[in-house]
Amino acid sequence: MGKLYERIDGRIRAFIEEQPVFFTATAPLAADGHVNLSPKGRAGSLVVLDEETLAYLDFGGSGAETLAHVRENGRITLMWCAFSGPPKVLRVHGRGEAIFRDDPRWAEYVPRFGAADGPSARAVIVVHAVRISDACGFAVPFMDYREERTQHAEHFGRKTDDEFAAYCEKKDHVGVSLDGLPALPLPLPARSA
């Protein structure tokens, strides 16, 4: 039986912080636009800022549909599944905002991610919760978490900021989404101090 929550506190916050993976879902306003669903990982790349706000680092390496959709309409849902322990699926429906590297607020947010920050961080997505709910998760299978994959951090860790900017410039669907919406500002903004 699902339940609604007024805030991200106590057990809800602990559940979020214990999960090694979460999913983001966004969509453009156009009825024929592409719905986007993305897995997110990398330890430390998601933080609960307060009882109604979360933030996560958006890294390079794929397209930028989430950025485009959040810029266009702000709608975003985050979802976590319990793959171990008691069954649970938790969703935070919210209003998202992309904070890019040249935004003065970048310097406020990035330190909250500690060592998870890296040269391929291209935005911080801040999510203001509108609806927080859970569901039973009885059909979610048990899966064992083994360890973090290191390839992403290692690959981009070998690039300078200029090399990463060049990578973003040549990658399809980074500056403009699949549906033609503005996504990541290009040329990639330098990181604000």
Q: What pLDDT digit, counting tens, does each position of 126-143 carry?
A: 999 999 999 999 999 999
Residue 94: the pLDDT is: 98
Residue ranges in the chain modelled with pLDDT below 70 = 1, 192-193
Per-residue pLDDT, 184: 96
Quote the DSSP letter at residue 120: T
Q: Is 191 exposed, middle or buried (0-12, 13-18, 19+ CB in 10 A)?
A: middle
**Residue in this structure with the two tokens 């039986």, named with its chain if needed:** 1
Residues 6+ apart with CB under 8 A from 76: 24, 25, 26, 66, 69, 70, 93, 94, 95, 96, 125, 127
- In degrees and rounded to multiples of 5, residue 150 shows phi and psi of -105, -5
Contact 97, 35 (CB under 8 A): no
pLDDT on residue 193: 60
What gap in Å lies between CA 122 and CA 141, rounded to an integer?
A: 33
Please report the pLDDT score of residue 192 as a whole number.
66
**Tokens read off for 87:** 């069954």
Return the pLDDT at 117. Answer: 75
Token couple for 63: 């397209």
